Amino acid sequence: MDVPDVSYARSGDVAIAYQVVGEGGTDTVFVRGTLADLLAGWDMPLFVDHVEGLARSGRVLLFDKRGSGLSDPVRQVPTLETRMDDIRAVMDAAGSERAVLWAAQEGSRIATLFAASYPERTSGLVMYDPTARGLWAPDYPWAPTDEQWRHELRDIHDNWGDRDYLVSRAERLSPVGAGNAAWLEWFVWYMRRSASPAEAVAFHRMAMEGDVRDVLSAVRAPTLILHRSTTRDEAVFITERIQGARRVEVEGIHDWWSWADPQQNAIVLRETEEFVAGLSTPREPDRVLATVLFTDIVGSTEQAAELGDAGWRDLLARHHTLVRGELVRFRGEELDTAGDGFFAAFDGPGRAIECAAAIRDGVRSLGLEVRAGLHTGECERVDGKLGGIAVPTGARIAALAEPGEVLVSSTVKDLVAGSGIDFADRGTHELKGVPGEWRLYAVGPA
């Protein structure tokens, strides 16, 4: 196969390099689990076989994650939300309205968030050795500990690009590939071309900080999980939390790269092809992952009494204009306005936090203070309105916020890991009418 041309999609102010392989049929977006370089991948026949196998079902969209390969470098660790936006930008640029997401390892977290946030654009989800969290937790013991990550990041910082170091990584991750001299030589140069030492550290910090455990239950797309026997427990954890997901433990599968072993790759491709062929015509989704935002003016009754009806109406109109301007700027959807409060929804928690902070800071120029609350969860969409437990959860969080405070759930905090946003722990709370205890965090100054 000739090397496909490289094109660029614009995701915000970052250019994302992508290629399109094949034509017709079902679109598949390939979300790799590691660093990558689009051009270098075509120097490895085993990888080409994998892409060609995926292309038997239709077009395959390949891309380099921001900060790696041919895509633009980045100055800070990208969040799951920004990388989800990159998938959407590539699909838009390639004219893909709906696609199967084929993802591996760390890439499965981006695919999970995309599938939950954009069900109308997700035909299905195939994940190989998926991970839901990068850092060890009592209920997620399969991820490396903080100490292990510190050691890993230090090694990458000090040794990335060194041949012996990269060979040792290959031997650890790919016993099949490491036994092939040509594959090993390719791997060393592939990693060098994929990222500089600083970019490699940023990528692995991103892998460490991601967490989509709370998002799994919001995935409604048909899902196939393929895994090795060594990752069975983690795969079971993820499968049990995605409604209707099917799990396949591939016998004899033992390589971190699904395509490094031809026999292994043949099984993976066969399962994928059967899964894609079995997808039915999708129905319009009635559930979506969203971040809900509630705001209200502090002390509005007292201010209205002080200003009088006409003065208060004027001030309220200026407040509404400011809030709506920020909603437009951060791609929020206004859902309701009750008196002096707003209810809005966003397709990404980072944008929702930025919007809430901008509203908080902006209304001070009007002599006002607001409180705001945010939560990310699965919502029902009926007649253009959102419902479900996520909505009252967001409202209850907002009610607990102090004047001038943006208060968020732990789900929101986890999803924006790596964003550089500062949070202050506000402890655990019971939310009226909402089951369980909730750990809440206040957003720091902009």
DSSP code string of 246-278: EEEE-TT---SSTTSSHHHHHHHHHHHHHHHHT
Residues 237 and 329 in one domain: no
CB 247 within 8 A of CB 225: yes
Domain boundary among 222, 256, 277: 277
Domain boundary among 246, 277, 308: 277
pLDDT at 446 over 70: no
Average pLDDT over residues 374-403: 91
Residues 146 and 40 in one domain: yes
For residue 151, CA distances in Å to 154, 198, 226, 371 come to 5, 16, 29, 41
282 found inside a domain: no
- Torsions phi, psi for 316 (to 5 deg): -65, -40
Who has greater pLDDT, 94 or 300? 94
141 found inside a domain: yes
Residues 366 and 227 in one domain: no
Number of domains in the chain: 2
* pLDDT, tens only, 180-195: 888 889 999 999 999 9
202 found inside a domain: yes
85 found inside a domain: yes
Say how far apart CA 81 and CA 72 lie, in whole Å. Answer: 17
Token look-up 């395509």 returns: 259
pTM of the model: 0.90
Q: What CATH number is given to the structural domain containing 318?
A: 3.30.70.1230
* pLDDT, tens only, 54-73: 999 999 999 999 999 999 99
In sequence order, which residues have a C-beta less than 8 Å from that of residue 75 and are 6 or more positions away?
none
Please report which confidence band the pLDDT of residue 175 belongs to, taking 50, 70 and 90 as the band edges. confident
1 found inside a domain: no
2 found inside a domain: no
pLDDT at 222 over 80: yes
> What is the helix (H) or strand (E) element at residue 394, kind and residue range?
helix 390-400
Q: Two tokens at 218? A: 């919001």
* pLDDT, tens only, 96-155: 999 999 999 999 999 999 999 999 999 999 999 999 999 999 999 999 999 999 999 999
* pLDDT, tens only, 298-339: 988 888 888 898 999 999 999 999 999 999 999 999 999 987
Residues 54 and 179 in one domain: yes
430 found inside a domain: yes
Q: List the one residue out of 388, 130, 75, 413 whose CA is nearest residue 247.
A: 130
C-beta neighbour count of 83 within 10 angstroms: 22
Per the prediction, the chain carries an average pLDDT of 92
Residues 273 and 294 in one domain: no
Q: Two tokens at 201? A: 């550290």
Residues 211 and 309 in one domain: no
Q: Which amino acid is at 405?
A: E
Residues 45 and 129 in one domain: yes
CB 13 within 8 A of CB 86: no
Residues 231 and 305 in one domain: no
Residues 102 and 244 in one domain: yes
Residues 125 and 253 in one domain: yes
Domain boundary among 277, 312, 339: 277
Say how far apart CA 390 and CA 46 lie, in whole Å. Answer: 45
Taking the mean position of all CA atoms in its chain, how far away is CA 22? 26
269 found inside a domain: yes
Residues 222 and 325 in one domain: no
Token look-up 């129905």 returns: 283
Q: What percent of the chain has pLDDT over 70?
A: 99
Residues 374 and 400 in one domain: yes
Average pLDDT over residues 415-436: 90
Domain holding 35, by residue range, is 7-277
Q: What CATH number is given to the structural domain containing 62?
A: 3.40.50.1820
